[in-house]
Amino acid sequence: MFDRLAAYLDSIRARDPAPRSRWEILLYPGVLALGLHRVAHWLFEAKLYFLARLVNHFSRFLTAIDIHPGATIGKNFFIDHGFTVIGETALIGDNVTIYQCVTLGGTNPTNGVGGKRHPTIEDNVIIGSGAQVIGPITVGNRARIGANAVVTDDVPEGATMIGLKARSTLVPAEQWLREFIPYGTPCDDPCEEAAGVGRDCVEKLEGELAALRAEIAELRQATGARAVPAPRRKRTGS
């Protein structure tokens, strides 16, 4: 048991350069939330639902992380910081990393049948801060979900998803081959390319707007010139 705990803490240390020792990692809210979830999940599977919920609420009070007791979580799961929500039917594989303010949310079926409502996150996935992964979708092995992305469709294995609604973006091979990318988003090419496209679109729209304004001004000037009546001549007495 001690060896498994040590291996888990070392897996976190490999992904987070901040801690100086294993003892420090034990104080992480994500580690505490996962430990309490293991207890709550065991109670949930034993159909002791009230006790499972009690442990869940106690964990949320301590850590600001809400993991439903029914969620199934694999090995070496790491939540970096708090304010994360994981739904009841979520399935999380091994070596998954989630940053703060992430939601693994569910759909609300109109037929009233619960079933699988939450995402399946396969092994080695990284989900950036603020991302929303919604519905009974599958996020493939080694996929990266960028910060604040909204994902509602299946994510292919190895894909990097960015944006709202999230779209897949190509990353350089040397980035993709890295074992771990903080926040799930490479810091160079994808964001810069997207930003460049955005700037080009804005400049194009601003040019079109300026041309339209010039045409409107010319039309107003031409219409105004026709509408102004000619000045009346003063009558002179005989």
Domain identity same for 101 and 165 = yes
Domains held by the chain: number: 2
pLDDT, residue 190, reads 45
Question: What is the pTM for the complete model shown?
Answer: 0.72
- The letter for the amino acid at 191 is C
- The letter for the amino acid at 80 is D
Q: In the chain, pLDDT over 70 holds for what percent of residues?
A: 79
Are 175 and 186 within 8 A, CB to CB?
Answer: yes
Domain identity same for 181 and 202 = no
- The letter for the amino acid at 6 is A
Are 174 and 156 within 8 A, CB to CB?
Answer: no
- Residue closest to 77 by CA, chosen among 51, 41, 46: 41
Structure-token pair, residue 98: 């989630």
Domain identity same for 51 and 92 = yes
Q: What would the pLDDT profile of 53-105 be if each residue is shown by its tens digit?
A: 999 999 999 999 999 999 999 999 999 999 999 999 999 999 999 999 999 99
Separation of alpha carbons 172 and 158, rounded Å? 12
Q: What would the pLDDT profile of 195-229 be if each residue is shown by its tens digit?
A: 455 556 677 788 888 888 888 888 888 877 555 45
Residue 137 lies in a domain: yes
Domain identity same for 108 and 204 = no
CATH of the domain at 33: 2.160.10.10
Domain identity same for 208 and 99 = no
The domain containing residue 138 runs over which residues?
A: 2-187
Domain identity same for 119 and 161 = yes
Residue 19 lies in a domain: yes
